[in-house]
Structure 1
């Protein structure tokens, strides 16, 4: 007679969520201090796109390598999280001396992205081991934590800008310390997960065919791709948008607020999805964020209060649909290939984000933001078109 999996202690989900938040802090560490780096080095405005793309590509490489080698299946999930958190912290600290050289900083960011593949996906794996039946709710909290953690370097930069005793590179020290604490928290506060029966899954490239042949899976995957055209591009451009109205600590605090607001969208979206369904919640948030892109020319010229309200709404909805797309893809993927489908779809999505970041940051450097931002709506528009099969009543 098969015994039921043990119930998770109450501390497990909060510990994983907080660890995810702290572990994601190195993601935008360079972006938070990019204006300082440009003043110190004379780098061009498009340097932020190249540095962000290096991290995204490192993350893709890490995700694929971990999946191909079945790292999370062959080794204890908590140990993988710990060592990746420590390695990510080391790479973040290495960025301080590397900042004098663009090439060295580029390599540091790529390596940071590689080890972040052991934070975000591995954290989700850890949650799946403890909450196999409540993953939908856990996913909203986990991705919300990832969003807030990614925004945290802007808060660190705001603190540094508020006090003369905090130099800008303290952002790197703070992000590295947060990553170390994340790894230790998983080891000390999260028990070993229940063992699952079976051989290491690995990565099955043949699973990619199901993304095209299955109509419902194709809808969720391509909806996610449209979402990824917008998400990281908006996050990279937020400091540039805010710089049209704000400066110094105020700019950094509002960058943290706008990016961090996505956590609210993730958690609220998870609650609404129970009543309305993931597809409808994802579509509503995708449509709202796309509308925010189209309203950019008006919002950029609006009074400060409306300008900030527009950015907050955009921040909430641009990230709030992420957990729902992950849930839809996992639900519609073939049961035997869920891990491979999620890995491949996420990797393609991050590759799309690299192209989008490079294109729109360079476009923003060549023409006014009011003429650039509306074009980002192409991503949400295509995502909504592809998502239609999941919105029709059965």
Structure 2
């Protein structure tokens, strides 16, 4: 069974209380996801603390991606997001993620830290997909905008550790502790202040065959292929922009380059929150396929040029970074929105989780490749490789637009 949105009536409205429900869930998401980049934000300090080299430091971020994949695949195989109340699952994931992140304070070295980061990522797989599903129970007519706000909250949560790190040059231990407490607070808010909307998805029986059957629907497949191209670019950009910008500032002789790079990175990643809102509005009113293609075209263009701009004025580099940060995530929620609209409604949570899992698998090679290619060929080539994802995503979205004769995929 598929629930098709109806956008034909100008007077159609989502129910009273939907925006309050969204506010609570978005706040919970913002707080709960801060542990994602907690270690990445303090990589320079951890490099000194544990005596790491650049290649080793990358695994602190890659480990979270791998953990998320493991957790998401496990959740999809067991259909947890369709069998357990979403907000209860969010609370459980947030509590365990906060604990695993906090244990970094006791980690004696890199390998124990990597294990804890894997566990953190796996636990966050019980936060992100259920939050998206819980939000969708509140909206039918402005779902793209609402999901955009949710991903905007995720974006701010991902940027927050850079802000914490930049404020006064805090010790890495304080950054880790602060993000753990924020994640715990997010889970508590979701469970005890949140509520379910009037459009619940049906509960699903455990059926492992449904896991891979979700991609037999061509529209779900194309929406997911677009998402995979988007993910090829997104997390590598988020993970390595701070290092790129710090080296740019140092090249220009800026004092305290690391601290100012942290503030700049917070602004660049945080700009994506506004991008998510704009992407949602465009998706609801202009069409999801067109909106996502536009976002990927702009972000891919930024990826192609920014790495070659280190000799340019710092403010110009930052400006291009802000444009990149705005558009690189503006399309993210629209891929998820498409899945909630066209997938089998009994297994929306499973479809979302599987889409996310495969998408995050693709983040691992790009996060690993960036420092390797940068050392061999410079930032221009390294960031330029990320543009391959948007190109593939645009092709998928054009195919979806052609296939959507009735406008489900193209207009949402």
TM-score (norm 2): 0.86
Find the partner of 2:300 among 290, 295, 317.
Answer: 290
C-alpha contact 2:219 2:342 (8 A) present in aligned 1: yes
Quickly say closer, same or farther: Cα 1:84–1:284, change in 2 above 3 A: same
2:128 is equivalent to residue 120 of structure 1: yes
Measure how far apart 1:137 and its partner are. 2.4
Find the partner of 1:356 among 344, 366, 372.
Answer: 366
C-alpha contact 2:76 2:353 (8 A) present in aligned 1: yes
What is the rounded CA distance, in whole Å, between the counterparts of 2:42 and 2:230 in structure 1? 26
Root-mean-square deviation over aligned CA pairs: 2.4
Q: Which residue of 2 aligns with 1:264?
A: 274
| Structural mapping, 1:30-109, within 5 Å | 30-98=39-107, 100-109=108-117
Partner SS for 2:329: helix
Find the partner of 2:190 among 171, 186, 200.
Answer: 186
What is the rounded CA distance, in whole Å, between the counterparts of 1:302 and 1:264 in structure 2? 26
Find the partner of 1:157 among 154, 159, 165.
Answer: 165
What is the rounded CA distance, in whole Å, between the counterparts of 1:217 and 1:9 in structure 2? 26
Q: Which residue of 1 aligns with 2:10?
A: none
Q: Deviations over 1:310-360 (max 9, x none)?
A: 111111111111011212233343455433332222211111111221222
Quickly say closer, same or farther: Cα 1:268–1:303, change in 2 above 3 A: same
2:375 is equivalent to residue 365 of structure 1: yes
Q: Deviations over 1:348-384 (max 9, x none)?
A: 1111111221222322233311232212211111211
Quickly say closer, same or farther: Cα 1:347–1:287, change in 2 above 3 A: same
C-alpha contact 2:35 2:98 (8 A) present in aligned 1: yes
Quickly say closer, same or farther: Cα 1:77–1:378, change in 2 above 3 A: closer
Measure how far apart 1:174 and its partner are. 0.8
Measure how far apart 1:215 and its partner are. 4.1
Q: Which residue of 1 aligns with 2:223?
A: 220
Q: Which residue of 2 aligns with 1:242?
A: 245
What is the rounded CA distance, in whole Å, between the counterparts of 1:91 and 1:274 in structure 2? 38
Find the partner of 2:232 among 208, 212, 229.
Answer: 229
Measure how far apart 1:132 and its partner are. 5.0
Q: Deviations over 1:207-258 (max 9, x none)?
A: 53553x5443333221111111101111111111111233132111111111
Q: Deviations over 1:117-154 (max 9, x none)?
A: 12111211221233355432221111110011011000
| Structural mapping, 1:315-394, within 5 Å | 315-335=325-345, 337-392=347-402, 394=405
Q: Deviations over 1:292-321 (max 9, x none)?
A: 111124432211111100111111111111
Quickly say closer, same or farther: Cα 1:101–1:322, change in 2 above 3 A: same
Partner SS for 2:89: helix
TM-score (norm 1): 0.90
C-alpha contact 1:219 1:388 (8 A) present in aligned 2: no
Q: Which residue of 1 aligns with 2:8?
A: none
What is the rounded CA distance, in whole Å, between the counterparts of 2:291 and 2:198 in structure 1? 32
Q: Which residue of 1 aligns with 2:151?
A: 143
Measure how far apart 1:105 and its partner are. 0.2
What is the rounded CA distance, in whole Å, between the counterparts of 2:321 and 2:185 in structure 1? 31
Gaps of 5+ in 2: 1-13, 250-256, 406-412
Measure how far apart 1:103 and its partner are. 0.7
C-alpha contact 2:35 2:183 (8 A) present in aligned 1: yes
Aligned residue pair count: 384
What is the rounded CA distance, in whole Å, between the counterparts of 1:219 and 1:191 in structure 2? 32
